[in-house]
Amino acid sequence: MTSQTPIEYLRSQDERHIEDLLEYARIPSVSAQSQHAEDLQKAAHWIANRCRHAGLTVDIHETPTHPIVVARTPNPEPGKPTFLVYGHYDVQPPEPFELWTSPPFEPRREGRNVYARGISDNKGQHLAHINAIEAWLQFGQPLPCNITLLIEGEEEVGSTSLLKFLPEHAQELACDAVVISDNGIPSLKHPTLTYALRGIAAIEIRVDGPDRDLHSGIFGGSLDNPAMVLCQMLAQMRDTKGRITVPGLYEDVQKLSAYERRQMAKLPSNPDKYRRFLGVPQLFGEKGFTPEEQRTARPTFEINGLTSGYQGEGSKTIIPSWASAKITLRLVPDQEPRKIIAAVKKHLQRLCPKTVRLTVRHGHGGKPYLVDPTGPLAQAALRAIQAGFGCEALLAREGGSIPIVSAFKEHLGADSLLIGMALPDDNPHSPNEKLSLDAYAAGMRMSVHLWEELAAAMA
Protein backbone atom coordinates (compact mmCIF):
# COMPACT_ATOMS: atom_id res chain seq x y z
CA MET A 1 0.00 0.00 0.00
CA THR A 2 1.24 3.52 -0.83
CA SER A 3 -0.01 7.03 -0.31
CA GLN A 4 -0.10 7.62 -4.07
CA THR A 5 -3.56 8.56 -5.28
CA PRO A 6 -5.00 6.13 -7.81
CA ILE A 7 -4.34 8.60 -10.63
CA GLU A 8 -0.69 9.09 -9.54
CA TYR A 9 -0.25 5.34 -9.28
CA LEU A 10 -1.62 4.82 -12.80
CA ARG A 11 0.91 7.30 -14.16
CA SER A 12 3.77 5.52 -12.37
CA GLN A 13 2.73 2.19 -13.92
CA ASP A 14 2.36 3.43 -17.49
CA GLU A 15 5.02 1.21 -19.13
CA ARG A 16 3.99 -1.91 -17.21
CA HIS A 17 0.38 -1.41 -18.31
CA ILE A 18 1.53 -1.38 -21.92
CA GLU A 19 3.75 -4.45 -21.48
CA ASP A 20 0.86 -6.33 -19.85
CA LEU A 21 -1.40 -5.40 -22.73
CA LEU A 22 1.12 -6.74 -25.28
CA GLU A 23 1.51 -9.99 -23.35
CA TYR A 24 -2.26 -10.53 -23.19
CA ALA A 25 -2.66 -9.74 -26.91
CA ARG A 26 -0.02 -12.38 -27.79
CA ILE A 27 -2.44 -15.17 -26.80
CA PRO A 28 -4.41 -16.23 -29.92
CA SER A 29 -7.72 -16.78 -28.09
CA VAL A 30 -9.93 -17.22 -31.17
CA SER A 31 -13.22 -18.68 -29.91
CA ALA A 32 -14.60 -19.53 -33.36
CA GLN A 33 -11.76 -21.97 -34.14
CA SER A 34 -11.54 -25.24 -32.18
CA GLN A 35 -7.75 -25.54 -32.66
CA HIS A 36 -7.42 -22.57 -30.27
CA ALA A 37 -9.21 -24.24 -27.31
CA GLU A 38 -5.96 -24.31 -25.31
CA ASP A 39 -5.27 -20.68 -26.07
CA LEU A 40 -8.65 -19.78 -24.60
CA GLN A 41 -7.63 -21.59 -21.41
CA LYS A 42 -4.36 -19.68 -21.49
CA ALA A 43 -6.12 -16.34 -21.89
CA ALA A 44 -8.56 -17.15 -19.07
CA HIS A 45 -5.66 -18.02 -16.75
CA TRP A 46 -3.63 -15.00 -17.84
CA ILE A 47 -6.45 -12.59 -16.98
CA ALA A 48 -7.25 -14.49 -13.76
CA ASN A 49 -3.59 -14.07 -12.68
CA ARG A 50 -3.63 -10.43 -13.64
CA CYS A 51 -6.72 -9.96 -11.42
CA ARG A 52 -4.95 -11.76 -8.55
CA HIS A 53 -1.92 -9.47 -8.91
CA ALA A 54 -4.27 -6.50 -8.81
CA GLY A 55 -5.42 -7.69 -5.36
CA LEU A 56 -8.72 -9.32 -6.35
CA THR A 57 -10.01 -12.72 -5.28
CA VAL A 58 -10.55 -14.94 -8.28
CA ASP A 59 -12.61 -17.98 -9.30
CA ILE A 60 -12.23 -19.75 -12.61
CA HIS A 61 -15.42 -21.59 -13.57
CA GLU A 62 -14.93 -24.32 -16.13
CA THR A 63 -17.72 -24.75 -18.70
CA PRO A 64 -18.18 -27.31 -21.50
CA THR A 65 -16.30 -24.84 -23.69
CA HIS A 66 -14.28 -21.91 -22.31
CA PRO A 67 -13.85 -20.81 -18.67
CA ILE A 68 -15.67 -17.91 -17.08
CA VAL A 69 -13.51 -15.79 -14.78
CA VAL A 70 -15.12 -14.10 -11.77
CA ALA A 71 -12.97 -11.73 -9.69
CA ARG A 72 -13.96 -9.58 -6.74
CA THR A 73 -12.59 -6.77 -4.67
CA PRO A 74 -11.59 -8.24 -1.29
CA ASN A 75 -13.82 -8.06 1.82
CA PRO A 76 -17.05 -6.93 0.14
CA GLU A 77 -18.99 -4.53 2.37
CA PRO A 78 -22.77 -5.05 2.37
CA GLY A 79 -23.41 -1.36 3.04
CA LYS A 80 -21.74 -0.31 -0.20
CA PRO A 81 -23.14 -0.58 -3.71
CA THR A 82 -21.78 -3.33 -5.96
CA PHE A 83 -20.93 -2.93 -9.64
CA LEU A 84 -20.26 -5.69 -12.15
CA VAL A 85 -17.63 -5.14 -14.85
CA TYR A 86 -18.11 -7.37 -17.89
CA GLY A 87 -15.53 -8.18 -20.57
CA HIS A 88 -14.47 -10.98 -22.94
CA TYR A 89 -11.04 -12.54 -23.48
CA ASP A 90 -11.95 -14.26 -26.74
CA VAL A 91 -11.20 -12.60 -30.06
CA GLN A 92 -12.43 -12.78 -33.65
CA PRO A 93 -10.57 -14.92 -36.22
CA PRO A 94 -7.71 -12.86 -37.71
CA GLU A 95 -8.09 -14.07 -41.32
CA PRO A 96 -7.22 -12.99 -44.00
CA PHE A 97 -3.61 -12.95 -42.72
CA GLU A 98 -2.19 -11.37 -45.87
CA LEU A 99 -4.00 -8.10 -45.16
CA TRP A 100 -2.19 -7.61 -41.83
CA THR A 101 0.86 -5.34 -41.87
CA SER A 102 2.33 -7.40 -39.01
CA PRO A 103 1.22 -10.81 -37.63
CA PRO A 104 -2.05 -10.49 -35.65
CA PHE A 105 -0.67 -12.17 -32.51
CA GLU A 106 2.69 -10.39 -32.50
CA PRO A 107 1.59 -7.01 -31.16
CA ARG A 108 3.28 -4.12 -32.95
CA ARG A 109 3.70 -0.76 -31.26
CA GLU A 110 3.72 2.19 -33.62
CA GLY A 111 3.63 5.63 -32.03
CA ARG A 112 0.63 5.75 -29.72
CA ASN A 113 -1.07 2.70 -31.26
CA VAL A 114 -0.65 -1.03 -30.72
CA TYR A 115 -1.76 -3.42 -33.48
CA ALA A 116 -3.03 -6.94 -32.66
CA ARG A 117 -6.20 -9.02 -33.01
CA GLY A 118 -8.53 -8.50 -30.04
CA ILE A 119 -6.54 -5.66 -28.50
CA SER A 120 -9.46 -3.24 -28.76
CA ASP A 121 -12.26 -5.87 -28.89
CA ASN A 122 -11.94 -6.51 -26.00
CA LYS A 123 -8.66 -7.21 -24.17
CA GLY A 124 -7.43 -3.63 -23.74
CA GLN A 125 -10.78 -2.32 -22.62
CA HIS A 126 -11.35 -4.67 -19.66
CA LEU A 127 -7.65 -4.62 -18.77
CA ALA A 128 -7.98 -0.84 -18.34
CA HIS A 129 -10.62 -1.40 -15.65
CA ILE A 130 -8.45 -3.99 -13.86
CA ASN A 131 -5.52 -1.54 -13.85
CA ALA A 132 -7.77 1.18 -12.44
CA ILE A 133 -9.15 -1.12 -9.73
CA GLU A 134 -5.56 -2.10 -8.81
CA ALA A 135 -4.75 1.61 -8.50
CA TRP A 136 -7.59 1.95 -6.00
CA LEU A 137 -6.61 -1.17 -4.03
CA GLN A 138 -3.01 -0.01 -3.45
CA PHE A 139 -4.30 3.35 -2.18
CA GLY A 140 -4.57 4.04 1.54
CA GLN A 141 -8.31 4.70 1.34
CA PRO A 142 -10.99 2.07 0.76
CA LEU A 143 -12.82 1.70 -2.55
CA PRO A 144 -16.21 3.44 -2.38
CA CYS A 145 -17.97 0.33 -3.74
CA ASN A 146 -17.66 -3.43 -4.20
CA ILE A 147 -16.67 -4.55 -7.67
CA THR A 148 -17.16 -7.93 -9.34
CA LEU A 149 -15.47 -8.66 -12.67
CA LEU A 150 -17.02 -11.17 -15.05
CA ILE A 151 -14.84 -12.10 -18.01
CA GLU A 152 -15.99 -14.71 -20.51
CA GLY A 153 -14.45 -16.44 -23.53
CA GLU A 154 -17.38 -16.84 -25.91
CA GLU A 155 -18.70 -13.37 -26.64
CA GLU A 156 -17.72 -13.51 -30.28
CA VAL A 157 -19.62 -16.78 -30.77
CA GLY A 158 -22.84 -16.03 -28.91
CA SER A 159 -22.00 -16.27 -25.14
CA THR A 160 -23.60 -19.74 -24.85
CA SER A 161 -21.88 -20.72 -21.58
CA LEU A 162 -22.44 -17.37 -19.91
CA LEU A 163 -26.13 -17.34 -20.82
CA LYS A 164 -26.46 -20.59 -18.84
CA PHE A 165 -24.11 -19.47 -16.04
CA LEU A 166 -25.88 -16.16 -15.42
CA PRO A 167 -29.22 -17.42 -14.02
CA GLU A 168 -27.40 -20.15 -12.06
CA HIS A 169 -25.08 -17.63 -10.38
CA ALA A 170 -27.45 -14.67 -10.23
CA GLN A 171 -27.00 -14.28 -6.47
CA GLU A 172 -23.22 -14.05 -6.48
CA LEU A 173 -23.35 -11.72 -9.47
CA ALA A 174 -26.01 -9.47 -7.92
CA CYS A 175 -25.17 -5.83 -8.54
CA ASP A 176 -26.58 -2.32 -8.72
CA ALA A 177 -25.42 -1.81 -12.31
CA VAL A 178 -23.19 -3.40 -14.94
CA VAL A 179 -20.26 -1.52 -16.49
CA ILE A 180 -19.17 -2.59 -19.97
CA SER A 181 -16.37 -1.23 -22.10
CA ASP A 182 -16.76 -3.24 -25.30
CA ASN A 183 -17.71 -0.52 -27.72
CA GLY A 184 -16.49 2.69 -29.28
CA ILE A 185 -16.43 6.46 -29.07
CA PRO A 186 -16.38 8.92 -32.00
CA SER A 187 -12.98 10.36 -31.03
CA LEU A 188 -10.74 11.07 -28.02
CA LYS A 189 -12.21 14.57 -28.02
CA HIS A 190 -15.76 13.19 -28.14
CA PRO A 191 -16.00 10.44 -25.54
CA THR A 192 -19.52 9.09 -25.07
CA LEU A 193 -21.80 7.12 -22.85
CA THR A 194 -23.60 4.60 -25.03
CA TYR A 195 -27.21 4.19 -23.93
CA ALA A 196 -28.49 1.95 -26.74
CA LEU A 197 -27.26 -1.04 -28.72
CA ARG A 198 -28.80 -2.75 -31.69
CA GLY A 199 -30.02 -6.32 -31.39
CA ILE A 200 -29.39 -9.08 -33.89
CA ALA A 201 -31.20 -11.95 -35.60
CA ALA A 202 -29.23 -14.43 -37.70
CA ILE A 203 -30.64 -16.80 -40.33
CA GLU A 204 -29.34 -19.04 -43.09
CA ILE A 205 -31.29 -19.40 -46.30
CA ARG A 206 -30.81 -22.32 -48.65
CA VAL A 207 -32.42 -22.84 -52.02
CA ASP A 208 -32.23 -26.34 -53.54
CA GLY A 209 -32.86 -27.12 -57.19
CA PRO A 210 -31.67 -30.15 -59.21
CA ASP A 211 -30.12 -32.97 -57.17
CA ARG A 212 -26.72 -32.36 -58.83
CA ASP A 213 -24.96 -29.62 -60.78
CA LEU A 214 -26.19 -29.79 -64.37
CA HIS A 215 -24.75 -28.84 -67.77
CA SER A 216 -26.11 -25.33 -68.36
CA GLY A 217 -26.13 -25.78 -72.13
CA ILE A 218 -27.94 -29.10 -72.29
CA PHE A 219 -30.51 -28.23 -69.60
CA GLY A 220 -30.39 -24.44 -69.14
CA GLY A 221 -33.68 -22.74 -69.99
CA SER A 222 -35.86 -25.68 -68.95
CA LEU A 223 -35.43 -25.46 -65.19
CA ASP A 224 -34.85 -22.76 -62.61
CA ASN A 225 -31.41 -21.74 -61.37
CA PRO A 226 -31.17 -21.80 -57.52
CA ALA A 227 -28.54 -19.03 -57.47
CA MET A 228 -30.78 -16.81 -59.61
CA VAL A 229 -33.82 -17.55 -57.44
CA LEU A 230 -31.90 -16.72 -54.27
CA CYS A 231 -30.60 -13.46 -55.76
CA GLN A 232 -34.09 -12.46 -56.91
CA MET A 233 -35.55 -13.17 -53.49
CA LEU A 234 -32.80 -11.30 -51.66
CA ALA A 235 -33.05 -8.37 -54.04
CA GLN A 236 -36.68 -7.94 -53.02
CA MET A 237 -35.87 -7.67 -49.32
CA ARG A 238 -34.96 -3.99 -49.50
CA ASP A 239 -36.37 -1.18 -51.64
CA THR A 240 -34.47 1.62 -53.38
CA LYS A 241 -35.13 3.95 -50.42
CA GLY A 242 -33.21 1.60 -48.11
CA ARG A 243 -36.32 0.29 -46.36
CA ILE A 244 -36.72 -3.40 -45.58
CA THR A 245 -39.81 -4.76 -47.34
CA VAL A 246 -40.72 -7.51 -44.86
CA PRO A 247 -44.32 -6.83 -43.76
CA GLY A 248 -44.53 -5.85 -40.07
CA LEU A 249 -40.78 -5.33 -39.70
CA TYR A 250 -41.08 -1.72 -38.53
CA GLU A 251 -44.13 -2.37 -36.33
CA ASP A 252 -42.23 -2.25 -33.01
CA VAL A 253 -39.49 0.22 -33.95
CA GLN A 254 -39.32 3.04 -31.41
CA LYS A 255 -39.21 6.48 -32.96
CA LEU A 256 -36.20 8.64 -32.15
CA SER A 257 -37.30 11.44 -29.84
CA ALA A 258 -36.49 15.05 -30.65
CA TYR A 259 -34.15 15.01 -27.58
CA GLU A 260 -32.23 12.03 -28.95
CA ARG A 261 -31.94 13.51 -32.41
CA ARG A 262 -30.55 16.70 -30.86
CA GLN A 263 -28.01 14.68 -28.83
CA MET A 264 -26.96 12.76 -31.92
CA ALA A 265 -26.54 15.96 -33.88
CA LYS A 266 -23.86 17.01 -31.33
CA LEU A 267 -21.64 14.10 -32.36
CA PRO A 268 -18.93 14.93 -34.89
CA SER A 269 -20.15 14.26 -38.40
CA ASN A 270 -18.42 14.55 -41.75
CA PRO A 271 -20.20 12.35 -44.33
CA ASP A 272 -17.52 12.77 -46.96
CA LYS A 273 -14.71 11.83 -44.58
CA TYR A 274 -16.85 8.90 -43.42
CA ARG A 275 -17.41 7.84 -47.06
CA ARG A 276 -13.66 7.89 -47.73
CA PHE A 277 -12.96 5.99 -44.51
CA LEU A 278 -15.35 3.24 -45.66
CA GLY A 279 -13.79 3.20 -49.14
CA VAL A 280 -17.11 3.42 -51.02
CA PRO A 281 -17.99 5.63 -54.02
CA GLN A 282 -21.21 6.82 -52.33
CA LEU A 283 -22.99 6.30 -49.02
CA PHE A 284 -26.33 4.46 -48.97
CA GLY A 285 -28.95 4.29 -46.24
CA GLU A 286 -32.59 4.62 -45.36
CA LYS A 287 -33.94 7.94 -46.63
CA GLY A 288 -34.90 10.50 -44.00
CA PHE A 289 -32.15 9.56 -41.52
CA THR A 290 -28.58 10.76 -41.01
CA PRO A 291 -25.75 8.21 -41.36
CA GLU A 292 -25.38 8.21 -37.55
CA GLU A 293 -29.10 7.46 -37.14
CA GLN A 294 -29.01 4.84 -39.91
CA ARG A 295 -26.13 2.90 -38.36
CA THR A 296 -27.32 3.01 -34.75
CA ALA A 297 -31.08 3.52 -34.52
CA ARG A 298 -32.56 1.86 -37.62
CA PRO A 299 -32.91 -1.84 -38.48
CA THR A 300 -30.94 -3.43 -41.32
CA PHE A 301 -31.04 -6.60 -43.41
CA GLU A 302 -27.49 -7.63 -44.36
CA ILE A 303 -26.13 -10.44 -46.50
CA ASN A 304 -23.00 -11.65 -44.65
CA GLY A 305 -22.12 -14.44 -47.05
CA LEU A 306 -23.40 -15.78 -50.35
CA THR A 307 -22.44 -19.18 -51.77
CA SER A 308 -23.36 -21.11 -54.89
CA GLY A 309 -21.90 -22.89 -57.88
CA TYR A 310 -18.33 -23.02 -59.06
CA GLN A 311 -15.85 -20.76 -57.23
CA GLY A 312 -12.58 -22.12 -58.65
CA GLU A 313 -10.29 -20.88 -61.40
CA GLY A 314 -11.67 -20.37 -64.90
CA SER A 315 -15.26 -21.07 -65.91
CA LYS A 316 -17.55 -24.03 -65.47
CA THR A 317 -20.86 -24.07 -67.32
CA ILE A 318 -23.30 -25.42 -64.77
CA ILE A 319 -26.65 -24.79 -63.19
CA PRO A 320 -25.73 -25.16 -59.52
CA SER A 321 -27.69 -27.64 -57.49
CA TRP A 322 -28.09 -25.19 -54.59
CA ALA A 323 -27.42 -21.67 -53.32
CA SER A 324 -27.22 -20.33 -49.78
CA ALA A 325 -26.94 -17.05 -47.92
CA LYS A 326 -25.94 -16.11 -44.40
CA ILE A 327 -28.05 -13.20 -43.21
CA THR A 328 -28.16 -11.01 -40.13
CA LEU A 329 -30.67 -8.34 -39.32
CA ARG A 330 -29.72 -5.62 -36.86
CA LEU A 331 -32.65 -4.76 -34.65
CA VAL A 332 -33.57 -1.67 -32.68
CA PRO A 333 -35.73 -1.14 -29.59
CA ASP A 334 -38.42 -2.68 -29.26
CA GLN A 335 -37.99 -5.28 -32.01
CA GLU A 336 -38.04 -8.92 -30.83
CA PRO A 337 -35.58 -11.28 -32.58
CA ARG A 338 -38.06 -14.18 -32.63
CA LYS A 339 -40.91 -12.15 -34.05
CA ILE A 340 -38.62 -10.66 -36.71
CA ILE A 341 -37.26 -14.05 -37.77
CA ALA A 342 -40.82 -15.37 -38.13
CA ALA A 343 -41.81 -12.37 -40.26
CA VAL A 344 -38.72 -12.73 -42.49
CA LYS A 345 -39.31 -16.46 -42.92
CA LYS A 346 -42.95 -15.92 -43.89
CA HIS A 347 -41.96 -13.27 -46.42
CA LEU A 348 -39.27 -15.48 -47.97
CA GLN A 349 -41.74 -18.36 -48.27
CA ARG A 350 -44.17 -16.06 -50.05
CA LEU A 351 -41.46 -14.87 -52.46
CA CYS A 352 -40.07 -18.32 -53.25
CA PRO A 353 -41.22 -19.87 -56.53
CA LYS A 354 -42.40 -23.50 -56.69
CA THR A 355 -39.44 -24.37 -58.96
CA VAL A 356 -37.07 -24.80 -55.96
CA ARG A 357 -37.12 -25.92 -52.31
CA LEU A 358 -36.49 -23.32 -49.63
CA THR A 359 -35.01 -23.93 -46.16
CA VAL A 360 -34.62 -21.15 -43.57
CA ARG A 361 -32.53 -22.01 -40.50
CA HIS A 362 -32.50 -19.83 -37.38
CA GLY A 363 -29.17 -18.77 -35.98
CA HIS A 364 -28.36 -16.75 -32.86
CA GLY A 365 -30.36 -13.77 -31.70
CA GLY A 366 -29.94 -10.89 -29.29
CA LYS A 367 -32.37 -8.25 -28.14
CA PRO A 368 -31.70 -4.56 -28.69
CA TYR A 369 -30.96 -2.48 -25.60
CA LEU A 370 -31.96 0.97 -24.45
CA VAL A 371 -31.50 2.63 -21.07
CA ASP A 372 -32.67 6.04 -19.87
CA PRO A 373 -29.63 8.30 -20.35
CA THR A 374 -31.02 10.91 -17.93
CA GLY A 375 -30.93 8.62 -14.84
CA PRO A 376 -28.52 9.27 -11.91
CA LEU A 377 -26.07 6.44 -12.75
CA ALA A 378 -25.87 7.54 -16.40
CA GLN A 379 -25.18 11.10 -15.26
CA ALA A 380 -22.48 9.84 -12.85
CA ALA A 381 -20.88 7.87 -15.70
CA LEU A 382 -20.90 10.99 -17.89
CA ARG A 383 -18.97 12.88 -15.15
CA ALA A 384 -16.40 10.07 -14.87
CA ILE A 385 -15.92 10.01 -18.65
CA GLN A 386 -15.44 13.76 -18.64
CA ALA A 387 -12.85 13.53 -15.85
CA GLY A 388 -10.98 10.66 -17.51
CA PHE A 389 -10.89 11.99 -21.07
CA GLY A 390 -10.64 15.67 -20.11
CA CYS A 391 -13.53 16.90 -22.26
CA GLU A 392 -17.32 16.96 -22.37
CA ALA A 393 -18.95 13.52 -22.57
CA LEU A 394 -21.78 13.06 -25.07
CA LEU A 395 -24.59 10.53 -25.41
CA ALA A 396 -24.63 8.03 -28.25
CA ARG A 397 -26.35 4.93 -29.56
CA GLU A 398 -24.23 2.17 -31.04
CA GLY A 399 -24.85 -0.06 -34.03
CA GLY A 400 -23.15 -3.24 -32.75
CA SER A 401 -24.71 -5.82 -30.46
CA ILE A 402 -23.79 -7.25 -27.07
CA PRO A 403 -26.57 -9.82 -26.52
CA ILE A 404 -25.57 -10.50 -22.91
CA VAL A 405 -26.66 -6.97 -21.95
CA SER A 406 -30.35 -7.87 -22.10
CA ALA A 407 -29.61 -11.08 -20.16
CA PHE A 408 -28.06 -8.94 -17.38
CA LYS A 409 -31.29 -6.98 -17.24
CA GLU A 410 -33.40 -10.13 -17.22
CA HIS A 411 -31.44 -12.21 -14.66
CA LEU A 412 -29.77 -9.58 -12.47
CA GLY A 413 -32.32 -6.78 -12.93
CA ALA A 414 -29.39 -4.48 -13.65
CA ASP A 415 -28.93 -1.83 -16.31
CA SER A 416 -25.65 -1.63 -18.21
CA LEU A 417 -23.52 1.47 -18.56
CA LEU A 418 -21.62 1.20 -21.83
CA ILE A 419 -18.43 3.18 -21.70
CA GLY A 420 -16.28 2.46 -24.72
CA MET A 421 -12.62 3.19 -25.34
CA ALA A 422 -12.38 2.02 -28.96
CA LEU A 423 -11.87 4.56 -31.73
CA PRO A 424 -13.67 4.42 -35.11
CA ASP A 425 -10.46 3.34 -36.90
CA ASP A 426 -9.60 0.53 -34.44
CA ASN A 427 -10.63 -2.09 -37.03
CA PRO A 428 -12.41 -4.58 -34.77
CA HIS A 429 -13.21 -7.81 -36.71
CA SER A 430 -11.04 -6.42 -39.59
CA PRO A 431 -7.35 -6.77 -40.46
CA ASN A 432 -4.94 -4.50 -38.54
CA GLU A 433 -7.01 -4.14 -35.39
CA LYS A 434 -5.45 -1.63 -33.03
CA LEU A 435 -5.85 0.16 -29.72
CA SER A 436 -4.87 3.73 -29.05
CA LEU A 437 -2.62 3.95 -25.99
CA ASP A 438 -4.12 7.37 -25.27
CA ALA A 439 -7.61 5.85 -25.20
CA TYR A 440 -6.28 3.04 -22.96
CA ALA A 441 -4.81 5.61 -20.53
CA ALA A 442 -7.92 7.81 -20.60
CA GLY A 443 -10.05 4.71 -20.04
CA MET A 444 -8.04 3.85 -16.91
CA ARG A 445 -8.46 7.38 -15.53
CA MET A 446 -12.18 7.25 -16.35
CA SER A 447 -12.48 3.95 -14.46
CA VAL A 448 -10.73 5.41 -11.39
CA HIS A 449 -13.29 8.25 -11.28
CA LEU A 450 -16.19 5.98 -12.15
CA TRP A 451 -16.25 4.07 -8.85
CA GLU A 452 -16.44 7.26 -6.81
CA GLU A 453 -19.06 8.82 -9.07
CA LEU A 454 -21.27 5.73 -9.21
CA ALA A 455 -21.05 5.16 -5.45
CA ALA A 456 -21.94 8.81 -4.78
CA ALA A 457 -24.91 8.58 -7.14
CA MET A 458 -26.23 5.56 -5.19
CA ALA A 459 -25.82 7.19 -1.76
Q: Which residues bind ligand BES (CB under 6 A)?
A: 121-122, 155-156, 158, 182-184, 197, 200, 364, 366, 398, 400-403
Which residue, 134 or 155, is less far from Zn ion as judged by CB?
A: 155
Least gap, CB of 221 to ligand BES (angstroms): 41
Least gap, CB of 38 to ligand BES (angstroms): 22
Identify what 182 binds: Zn ion, ligand BES, none; CB under 5 to 8 Å per kind. Answer: ligand BES
Whether the Cβ atoms of residue 304 and residue 328 lie closer than 8 Å to each other: yes
Distance CA 386, CA 440 (A): 15
134 near Zn ion, judged by CB under 5 A: no
Strands in 36-134 per DSSP E: 57-61, 68-72, 82-88, 108-110, 113-115
Using CA atoms of 248, 253, 255, 260 in order, give the dihedral in degrees to the nearest 10. -160
Whether the Cβ atoms of residue 249 and residue 340 lie closer than 8 Å to each other: yes
Cβ-proximal residue to ligand BES, closest one: 400
Least gap, CB of 211 to ligand BES (angstroms): 34
Residues with Cβ within 8 Å of 223's Cβ and at least 6 positions away in sequence, in order, are 209, 210, 214, 319, 355
Distance CA 245, CA 248 (A): 9
Least gap, CB of 398 to Zn ion (angstroms): 12
Identify what 183 binds: ligand BES, Zn ion, none; CB under 5 to 8 Å per kind. Answer: ligand BES
Which residue, 209 or 428, is less far from ligand BES as judged by CB?
A: 428
Task: Determine the interface stretch with Zn ion among 118-126, 184-192, 284-292, 345-353 (rule: CB under 5 A).
Answer: 118-126
Strands 199-208 vs 300-308: parallel, antiparallel or unpaired: unpaired
Identify what 87 binds: Zn ion, ligand BES, none; CB under 5 to 8 Å per kind. Answer: none
Displacement of CA 357 from its chain's centroid (Å): 35
Least gap, CB of 301 to ligand BES (angstroms): 15
Three-point CA angle 323, 327, 331, nearest 5°? 160
Which residue, 123 or 169, is less far from Zn ion as judged by CB?
A: 123
Distance CA 175, CA 286 (A): 39
Least gap, CB of 121 to Zn ion (angstroms): 4
Identify what 6 binds: Zn ion, ligand BES, none; CB under 5 to 8 Å per kind. Answer: none
**Biggest CA-to-CA distance, the chain:** 85
Among positions 121, 134, 433, 452, the unique one binding Zn ion when judged by CB under 5 A: 121
DSSP 188-213: TTB-EEEEEE-EEEEEEEEEE-SSS-
Which residue, 152 or 182, is less far from ligand BES as judged by CB?
A: 182
433 near Zn ion, judged by CB under 5 A: no
* Residues engaged in binding Zn ion (CB under 5 A): 121
